[in-house]
A and B are shown apart, each in its own frame.
Chain A
C-alpha cells in the first residue's frame, strides 16, 4: 500500500514538472492562469503579476517577476513606465522598453527558468512569446578578505556567494577574449547553475569534455554549492586524499586557469573548484610565488617539515619508546623513563589520549560561539596540559610531542589536506604501537603505493614528480619565475610554453 502511495506521489510530482512543458498561447489570460497555478499565486507572496495597458498599441500586457530577487526600481522606470506612456501606434515592444538586454522565449519552461533567476517576463496579449528582461538583483555580501587562505604579501580579495561577482574577479585578472565561461545547469529541481571557466586556447579539449560530461551526467534535484558539487564529481568518494582543489582566492584560481586547468564557479559558493588537482596543488599556497624565491622556498621547506612532523612525531615516539629503546640517547631515554615512572597508561594509550584531546579542543574551538571562544583555549591548554601532567595522567614529554605535531598540522593550509594528514597521523600511531618503526614503514610504503595509484580527472596524483612530465618543476621547491617557462605537461595544455 505504501508502495502504491509512493508511486502516485511520484506520478504527481512528475506531472507538475511536465506542466512546465507548455508552449505559450496567444491568449494572455490563458498564459497567466497557467503561471499563477505554477507559482501557487497568491499563496506565494513575492511573485508579482503587474497587468497594464499599452495605450499606443492598445494591448493588455502582464509583467511577471519575483520581487525579492529583482531590481523593482528598474522594472518601474524602464519597463512599466515606458509601456504606459507609449502613444505611438506601430512601435515594437523592444523599442519601447529601455532595458539593457532581453530575449524572447515561447516555451513556458524557459520562461520559468528566467523568472526564477530574477528576470522579469513580459507577456503581451496576442503574442505567443514572452519577453524576458534582465533585472536580476540577488542580495549578497560584498567582496571581503579571504578567511582561510590568508597571505601577508599579495592580493586580499576573496570570492563571495555571487557567481557574477566571482566571474568579474576572474575577468579582472584575465583580460582576454579566449577566457570562456560556460554555463551548465546541474540539478533538476533547484536548477543550480555551474559556471565552467577555462581558457580556450590553453585548456585541453579532452579534459574539458570530461569535466562537462561529468557535470551533465549529474541526476539530482539540488546541489546548493561547490562544496557539495565537489563530492558529486570526484572520482574516489571513499579515498582519504582529496582530488579536487577548493580555493577561495581568485588569484589562485586564475593562476590555475592560466596553466590550463579548469575552474568551476557557482552561486552561493564563496570559492571555486580547480580541476584536476595534484598532491602539490594542495601542498602549495599562493604566497609561495608572491614571496621572493628564497623566502618562498623557505616556507615550502617549513611546510614539508611540518607535514612530516605532524604525521610522524607521535608515531615515532610511541614506536621508539615501546620497541626501539636502543635508538634513544641515554640521557633522553632516562629522562623519558623518569617522567613515565608514575604514568599509569602504556605509551601508546597515553599518546592517543592526548591526540584525541587535542582534536577535541580543535573541534570545540571551531564550533564554539565566538564570545566564549577564548575560554575554550584557556580550559584546553590549562586543564589538558598542566593539570594532566601534574596528576600523572600523561608525561610532560608526551605533551611536548603532541603539541608539536598538533601545531605543525596547522602549517598545511588546505582544509581537505589538513584532514588527510590529521587522520593519517592516527593510522601511523596505531601502526607504531602495534609494530614499531617496522609497522610505520609498512604503512608509509602502502600509503605511497596508494598515492601513486590515485588519479584526479585522469591526471596522476603525484605528477609531475611521478610519473615525470614536462613542467616548470613546481613541486617541493619552486624555481625563479624566469625559469618557469612550461605549463604543467600533465594537464596536456594546447600551448606548452608560457612565453
Chain B
C-alpha cells in the first residue's frame, strides 16, 4: 500500500480547492437592477427614518441587439421609507425582481428640507460606508421631495436616465450654470471646516422670478420661463452647504462668480453672459468669459486685520454688439470698454464676496487651501481659524480683462450713414 498519494491525486485536490474557493462574489449582469440615482427625503414626524427613492435603469430600453427590440420603459422608479439607503437595498426587493446594485449610481438627490436638517450629515455619510458607491458621484438638491422630482422628471429625447443626467450635468458644468458638486469634495470641505460646499440645485416646479428682469442670468432653477413640449426639470444655480447643512441658494450668476474666483473648482469652458454697453446705455454686449490661468491671491494674514488681494485674469470675447459702436479699430474705445467691464465685474465680485462674508461667514472659493501655505504647521493654521476670521478680512478684487476678439466679422455698418 502506498502511503503517499500520487501527484495526480494531489493536483486534483488542489484543483478542487481552487474551484471551491472561487466564484464567491460572482454576479451575472442581467440579474442586477442598476440604480442610477438615489433620492433622500425626511418623512414627516419620523425621526430615524428616511424616504428613499430609486431611479432604476432598464438596460433593454432602446436596445435593438439580440432579436426583437422591446417597448419597455427606460426607467422604473420606486419610493419608500427605510432606515437608511443601505438597508433599503434588500427592502426594495419586495417589489423589484432583481438584486439592487449601486455600481451605476451617479447621483444622490436630496430634498431642500432634508438638506437643511441638522441630521442630514448623519445619513449622507452612509455613502462612505457602502463599498459600491463611488466618491465621484454628484450631490443634487431639489426644491421638492425627490419622489415628486423623480415622478415629474420626464425627458423627451434622452430617455435613458443615466445618459440624461450625465449629459445635462456635464453641459451645466461647461456653461457654469451649476457647480461640479462631487460627493468627495463635499466630504473634504465639510471635514476641512473652512469653506462652504456648492451642490447642484434643480427642480421640476415652476416659480415666479422675483429678481429684476434686467438680468436674465440672475435666476435659480424653476425660474426660467419657457414654453414648448419638453421636460419640466430645470438645473440652475447651487445650494450652499456649510458644515454639512444647507444654508442658502445661489443663482446662476453667483455660481459663475464663484467659479471665476476659485482655483479649486473645475472651470466651465463657456460662460456666455451679457454686460452693459458703456457707449449705449440701453444696449448690452454679449461676451464669452474665460479665466486665463489661475487667479493670483496675495494674503497678509499676520496683520491685525488680515487682507487678501485677488487679481482675476480674464479673457473676453465680444459676441454681439447691438449698440453698433465701432470699437475694433479704436484703441481708446477698446480701453473704455475694458475699463467698463472691469468695473462691472469688480462690482459683482465685491458684492458677492460681501454676501459670503456677511450672510454665510465662509467662502466657497477654496481660498483656505491657498492660506494653508502661509503657515508653517497645521496647529498654527488651526489656531488662526480661517472660518471665523474670514468675515472680518479685507478683500480687494482686481479684474484684469483682455479683449480677445470681436466675433468672426469685426466690422459693423454705420447705422447713421445707412439710414440717412
Q: A residues bordering B, Cβ < 8 Å?
A: 321-323, 325-326, 330-331, 333-343, 346-347, 389-390, 392, 395-397, 433-435, 439
Residue-wise, chain B 301-337 has the 8 Å CB interface mask toward A (1 for contact) of 0000000000000000000000000000000000000
Q: What's the least CB distance linking B38 to chain A, in Å?
A: 15
Partner of B66, one of A321, A334, A338, A347: A338
Given contacts A338-B59, A339-B63, A396-B65, contact A325 B162 (CB under 8 A): no
Stretch at the interface among B20-28, B110-118, B197-205, B223-231: B20-28
For the complex, is B81 an interface residue (Cβ under 8 Å from A)? Answer: no
Contact residues of B between 91 and 137, Cβ < 8 Å to A: 101, 103-104, 106, 132, 134
> Closest residue of chain A to B104, judged by CB?
A330
Q: Which residues of A contact B166 (CB under 8 A)?
A: 330
In angstroms, Cα B23 to Cα A433, docked, is: 7
Say whether A337 contacts B66, CB under 8 Å.
no
29 contacts between A and B (CB under 8 A): A321-B29, A322-B27, A322-B28, A325-B29, A325-B101, A325-B103, A326-B132, A330-B36, A330-B162, A333-B104, A334-B63, A335-B65, A336-B29, A337-B34, A339-B63, A339-B66, A340-B30, A341-B59, A341-B60, A341-B66, A346-B28, A390-B67, A392-B67, A395-B66, A396-B65, A396-B66, A434-B18, A434-B19, A439-B22
Q: Which residues of A contact B145 (CB under 8 A)?
A: none
Q: Which residues of B contact A336 (CB under 8 A)?
A: 29
Majority DSSP secondary structure for residues of A touching B = helix
For the complex, is B245 an interface residue (Cβ under 8 Å from A)? Answer: no
Q: What's the least CB distance linking B319 to chain A, in Å?
A: 34
Kindly list 4 other residue pairs between chains A and B, CB separation below 8 angstroms, not including A330-B57, A335-B65. Answer: A333-B104, A341-B30, A346-B26, A435-B22
Say whether B26 contacts A340, CB under 8 Å.
no
In angstroms, Cα B32 to Cα A390, docked, is: 23
Given contacts A330-B162, A341-B60, contact A325 B32 (CB under 8 A): yes
In angstroms, Cα B27 to Cα A342, docked, is: 16
Q: What's the least CB distance linking A391 to chain B, in Å?
A: 9
> Closest residue of chain B to A327, judged by CB?
B103
Say whether A334 contacts B30, CB under 8 Å.
no
In angstroms, Cα B160 to Cα A434, docked, is: 33
In angstroms, Cα B25 to Cα A337, docked, is: 18
> Closest residue of chain A to B162, judged by CB?
A330
Say whether B28 contacts A340, CB under 8 Å.
yes
Say whether A323 contacts B26, CB under 8 Å.
yes
A-B pairs, top 3 by smallest CB distance, nearest first, are A434-B22, A337-B59, A338-B63
In angstroms, Cα B22 to Cα A439, docked, is: 9
> Closest residue of chain A to B166, judged by CB?
A330
Say whether B22 contacts A333, CB under 8 Å.
no
In angstroms, Cα B19 to Cα A397, docked, is: 26
Given contacts A325-B101, A434-B22, contact A337 B132 (CB under 8 A): no
Q: Which residues of B contact A323 (CB under 8 A)?
A: 25-27
Say whether A340 contacts B29, CB under 8 Å.
yes
For the complex, is B163 an interface residue (Cβ under 8 Å from A)? Answer: yes
Say whether B65 contacts A339, CB under 8 Å.
yes
> Closest residue of chain B to A334, judged by CB?
B59
The listed residue with most B CB atoms (<10 A of its CB), out of A339, A343, A347, is A339
In angstroms, Cα B29 to Cα A457, docked, is: 49
Contact residues of B between 120 and 178, Cβ < 8 Å to A: 132, 134, 160, 162-163, 166
Q: Which residues of A contact B106 (CB under 8 A)?
A: 330
Q: Which residues of B contact A347 (CB under 8 A)?
A: 28-29
In angstroms, Cα B60 to Cα A340, docked, is: 10
Q: Which residues of A contact B23 (CB under 8 A)?
A: 433-434
